[in-house]
Amino acid sequence: MHYKTLMLALLQEDAPRLLQRSGTPLQTLERYATLLKDRHTSWMEALTRQRPASDPRQIASQALELAVQEMRDALPADSPTNAAEAEETLSLDAAMASLRRPTPPA
Protein backbone atom coordinates (compact mmCIF):
# COMPACT_ATOMS: atom_id res chain seq x y z
CA MET A 1 0.00 0.00 0.00
CA HIS A 2 1.26 3.48 -0.86
CA TYR A 3 0.23 5.39 2.24
CA LYS A 4 2.75 8.18 1.68
CA THR A 5 1.47 8.77 -1.85
CA LEU A 6 -2.14 8.86 -0.64
CA MET A 7 -1.32 11.22 2.21
CA LEU A 8 0.72 13.52 -0.01
CA ALA A 9 -2.24 13.82 -2.37
CA LEU A 10 -4.61 14.50 0.56
CA LEU A 11 -2.31 17.09 2.08
CA GLN A 12 -1.76 18.86 -1.22
CA GLU A 13 -5.48 18.90 -1.91
CA ASP A 14 -6.92 19.67 1.52
CA ALA A 15 -4.16 21.33 3.55
CA PRO A 16 -1.27 22.50 1.36
CA ARG A 17 -0.04 24.98 3.96
CA LEU A 18 0.47 22.19 6.48
CA LEU A 19 3.50 20.86 4.61
CA GLN A 20 4.79 24.37 3.87
CA ARG A 21 4.53 25.46 7.52
CA SER A 22 6.16 22.32 8.76
CA GLY A 23 9.85 22.70 9.41
CA THR A 24 10.22 19.07 8.39
CA PRO A 25 7.71 18.30 5.63
CA LEU A 26 8.98 14.77 5.06
CA GLN A 27 8.56 13.88 8.74
CA THR A 28 5.08 15.43 8.71
CA LEU A 29 4.16 13.37 5.66
CA GLU A 30 5.55 10.20 7.25
CA ARG A 31 3.65 10.84 10.48
CA TYR A 32 0.35 11.28 8.63
CA ALA A 33 1.09 8.24 6.42
CA THR A 34 1.66 6.14 9.53
CA LEU A 35 -1.64 7.37 10.99
CA LEU A 36 -3.41 6.49 7.74
CA LYS A 37 -1.89 3.00 7.77
CA ASP A 38 -2.92 2.49 11.40
CA ARG A 39 -6.49 3.65 10.70
CA HIS A 40 -6.68 1.42 7.61
CA THR A 41 -5.55 -1.59 9.65
CA SER A 42 -8.06 -0.80 12.40
CA TRP A 43 -10.91 -0.50 9.92
CA MET A 44 -9.94 -3.76 8.21
CA GLU A 45 -10.00 -5.57 11.56
CA ALA A 46 -13.37 -4.06 12.50
CA LEU A 47 -14.96 -4.80 9.13
CA THR A 48 -13.58 -8.35 9.12
CA ARG A 49 -15.18 -8.97 12.53
CA GLN A 50 -18.49 -7.50 11.33
CA ARG A 51 -18.53 -9.43 8.03
CA PRO A 52 -16.23 -12.45 8.24
CA ALA A 53 -17.59 -13.96 4.99
CA SER A 54 -16.80 -10.86 2.89
CA ASP A 55 -14.07 -10.81 0.28
CA PRO A 56 -10.84 -9.54 1.91
CA ARG A 57 -10.17 -7.25 -1.07
CA GLN A 58 -13.55 -5.61 -0.66
CA ILE A 59 -12.93 -5.17 3.06
CA ALA A 60 -9.50 -3.67 2.39
CA SER A 61 -10.96 -1.26 -0.16
CA GLN A 62 -13.80 -0.15 2.08
CA ALA A 63 -11.46 0.17 5.05
CA LEU A 64 -9.14 2.38 3.02
CA GLU A 65 -12.04 4.61 1.98
CA LEU A 66 -13.08 5.00 5.62
CA ALA A 67 -9.51 5.67 6.76
CA VAL A 68 -8.95 8.28 4.05
CA GLN A 69 -12.19 10.02 4.98
CA GLU A 70 -11.14 10.06 8.64
CA MET A 71 -7.80 11.59 7.72
CA ARG A 72 -9.45 14.17 5.47
CA ASP A 73 -11.82 15.13 8.30
CA ALA A 74 -8.94 15.36 10.76
CA LEU A 75 -6.74 17.61 8.63
CA PRO A 76 -6.69 21.23 9.75
CA ALA A 77 -8.48 23.69 7.51
CA ASP A 78 -6.15 25.55 5.20
CA SER A 79 -6.42 28.91 6.89
CA PRO A 80 -3.90 31.44 8.20
CA THR A 81 -1.64 29.79 10.73
CA ASN A 82 -0.91 32.66 13.04
CA ALA A 83 -1.82 36.25 13.78
CA ALA A 84 0.86 37.65 11.46
CA GLU A 85 -0.43 35.58 8.55
CA ALA A 86 -4.03 36.52 9.37
CA GLU A 87 -3.03 40.19 9.54
CA GLU A 88 -1.27 39.88 6.19
CA THR A 89 -4.44 38.45 4.68
CA LEU A 90 -6.52 41.22 6.19
CA SER A 91 -4.14 43.91 4.97
CA LEU A 92 -4.35 42.44 1.47
CA ASP A 93 -8.14 42.61 1.73
CA ALA A 94 -7.88 46.23 2.84
CA ALA A 95 -5.57 47.03 -0.06
CA MET A 96 -7.97 45.44 -2.55
CA ALA A 97 -10.88 47.38 -1.06
CA SER A 98 -8.98 50.66 -1.34
CA LEU A 99 -8.23 49.94 -5.00
CA ARG A 100 -11.91 49.39 -5.68
CA ARG A 101 -12.97 52.68 -4.12
CA PRO A 102 -13.64 55.45 -6.63
CA THR A 103 -10.98 58.14 -6.68
CA PRO A 104 -12.11 61.52 -5.42
CA PRO A 105 -12.55 64.23 -8.06
CA ALA A 106 -9.59 66.58 -8.50
Distance of alpha carbon 14 from alpha carbon 94, whole angstroms: 27
pTM of the predicted protein model:
0.69
In this prediction, residue 100 has a pLDDT band, given cuts at 50, 70 and 90, of: low
Contacts of 39 (CB under 8 A, 6+ apart): 66, 67, 70, 71
pLDDT at site 45: 96
Distance of alpha carbon 58 from alpha carbon 28, whole angstroms: 30
Q: What are the pLDDT digits (tens) for 39-93?
A: 999 999 999 999 999 999 999 999 999 999 999 998 876 655 444 554 444 455 5
Query: Which residue would you say has higher pLDDT here, 96 or 86?
Result: 96
The DSSP secondary structure of the chain, one letter per residue, reads --HHHHHHHHHHHH-HHHHHH-S-HHHHHHHHHHHHHHHHHHHHHHHHHH-TTS-HHHHHHHHHHHHHHHHHHHSPPS---SHHHHHHHHHHHHHHHHHHSPPPP-
Q: What are phi and psi of 82, to 5 degrees?
A: -150, 180
Q: What are the pLDDT digits (tens) for 6-44?
A: 999 998 888 888 877 878 888 889 999 999 999 999 999
pLDDT at site 23: 81
